[in-house]
Structure formats: structure tokens, C-alpha cells
Amino acid sequence: MISVPASAGHSAVFLDRDGVLIDDVGYPHREDQLALVPGAAEAVRRLNTLGYLVVIVTNQSGVARGMFSHGQMEAFNDLIVRRLAAKGARIGAVYACPYHAEAVDPAWRHPDHPDRKPNPGMILRAVADHGIDPKRAFMIGDRPSDMEAARRAGIPGFLFDGGNLDDFVRDLLAI
């Protein structure tokens, strides 16, 4: 169970994308590859109702690897946000890191980009951009790199290993 203390700043939940909000089918970037995990919309709606800003933080090395363009990545992220919104679930922001050390396009090549999880850059930028209080924030991810990014950002991280995301969130918040 998580307890979020009252303090200044917004409360927030950082969610990984592939494997947490949507099925991880290996570099998804087309509409036909978009399938929300069970309970995704309900979980986001629950978090919204409790006053959390919900922020997606996602590594997207498919851009760096030449599998799809930056524009396709942004369009796919927008589609996810719209699909969730149609179910009454609001995503406050999306941060995506297209950089990778082995990028085929030099524009996206970086040996250790500060935004690429396990680095905390996307979380830290969201904290600054949205006035988030780290003491009132946590991360849900499906990989050790998500947990490490949360740790480095100074927020709790919780490992989601599949199933129904709303059940996971409900149990985590013990409500």
C-alpha cells in the first residue's frame, strides 16, 4: 500500500507505456498494434478521480533503430491518449525518449541519454514542467529499468507484472 503525504505541488503517477498501459508487441507504432492492457482505462480514471496527474514515460528506441519515425511515434502516443480519453481516462503528459546508443540515425544516437530509462530525465523534466511534488508521486513500470529510473528520481517504483492494471492500482492504493 502506498501513502501519499499532503504537501505543496501536484501528485502524480508515472506510467510506462508498453507492458503497462498497452500490450507490448515489440516496438508498437501502428493503430492495429494498439491494445490497452486489461483495466488500463479504469486505472487511469481511478487515478484521475483521486487527483493524480497521470504521466506516460516511455523509452522508444524504435525511432533510433529506424523502425518508425519520430512523427509516427508521436502520432501513436497521441492515439493512446485519445483512446484512453474516449473511456474517460486523462493522460496529463507524455514523455518519450527516442535515443539509443546503437541508433542507425546519428540524430538519435547517444551513449547514455539522460532521458533513457534507467536514467530519470523524463521523470525529472515532468516534475519541473508540471509542478509535481516528488513526495506525492510514484512510478508503475514493468521492467527493472523503470524501477531504477524511479529510484534515481527519488520516487517509489512499483513493478507491474501483467494482469489487470486497475486491480494492481486499487491494491497498491488499498482503496
Check whether 129 is labelled as a binding-site residue: no
Check whether 112 is labelled as a binding-site residue: no
Contacts of 41 (CB under 8 A, 6+ apart): 84, 87, 88, 89
CA distance 126 to 70: 20
- The single residue of 16, 115, 146, 166 carrying the catalytic annotation is 16
The answer to whether residue 18 is catalytic is yes
Check whether 105 is labelled as a binding-site residue: no
Contacts of 66 (CB under 8 A, 6+ apart): 103, 104, 105
Sheet of 132-141, strand order: 93-97, 53-59, 10-15, 132-141, 157-159
The answer to whether residue 167 is catalytic is no
Q: Output the known binding site for Zn(2+).
A: 97
Task: Tell me which residues are annotated as active site.
Answer: 16, 18
Q: Output the known binding site for Mg(2+).
A: 16, 18, 142
Q: Output the known binding site.
A: 16, 18, 97, 142
